[in-house]
Structure formats: structure tokens, C-alpha cells
């Protein structure tokens, strides 16, 4: 996910979670679980990470999605965030992106 330096971490977390959730909505799927991969420079403030996760949790809660794990690592470069959402689609309700 791309964002500008100085963007509110709460907003970044919200957007990072909503992107895959919108894909679920577009295909009539039901999201259940999320995995977060967060790669940050070592000097990243803990308060920033907490705000990021607050945004992730707020968005997940809107759709009753549980954040169940993921990975964290450090990097000398820019922050990287990836959200993977796992769920299901009810039989006979699957909609392809083309048909969405």
C-alpha cells in the first residue's frame, strides 16, 4: 500500500484493511480473518505502530474480521504494509470481478 510521509497512522491502518475488504464485497465473499505484514525501520515509534493497528482493528471490526497474526520485520527503506484477508463465499453467490 502506498501513502505519503506524515499521513496519520490511523488512516493508513484503516485504508490498508479496507482495500482487501472491498475486494471481498465486490465478489460477494464473507471475510473472516486477516493477517498483517508490517515492515518498518527500526527507529519507527511504537506510538505510530499502535495507531496503525488501531486503524486496522477499527476497519476489521466493521466487518467482524479478526486479526489473527502476520509478520513483522525491519527494513532500512520505507515502511511496507500488507493485509491478507481470508474468508469464504456462499455456494451459488460467487461473483467474478468481471460480473461485479
Is the pLDDT score of 98 beyond 90? Answer: no
Classify domain 9-87 at the CATH topology level. 60s Ribosomal Protein L30; Chain: A; (3.30.1330)
70-91 tens-digit pLDDT: 999 999 989 999 999 999 988 7
Domain ranges of the chain: 9-87
Cβ neighbours of residue 56 closer than 8 Å, sequence gap 6 or more = 13, 14, 16, 17, 34, 36, 67, 83
2-13 tens-digit pLDDT: 676 778 999 999
pTM: 0.86
22-55 tens-digit pLDDT: 988 888 889 999 999 999 999 999 999 999 999 9
Cβ neighbours of residue 99 closer than 8 Å, sequence gap 6 or more = none
So what's the pLDDT on residue 99?
53
Amino acid at each position: 500500500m502506498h501513502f505519503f510521509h506524515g499521513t496519520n497512522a490511523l488512516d493508513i491502518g484503516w485504508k490498508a484493511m479496507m482495500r482487501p475488504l472491498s475486494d471481498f464485497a465486490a465478489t460477494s465473499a464473507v471475510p473472516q480473518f486477516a493477517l498483517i505484514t508490517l515492515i518498518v525501520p527500526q527507529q519507527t515509534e511504537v506510538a505510530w505502530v499502535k495507531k496503525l493497528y488501531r486503524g486496522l482493528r477499527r476497519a476489521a471490526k466493521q466487518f467482524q474480521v479478526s486479526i489473527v497474526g502476520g509478520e513483522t520485520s525491519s527494513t532500512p527503506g520505507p515502511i511496507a504494509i500488507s493485509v491478507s484477508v481470508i474468508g469464504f463465499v456462499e455456494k451459488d453467490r460467487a461473483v467474478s470481478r468481471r460480473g461485479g
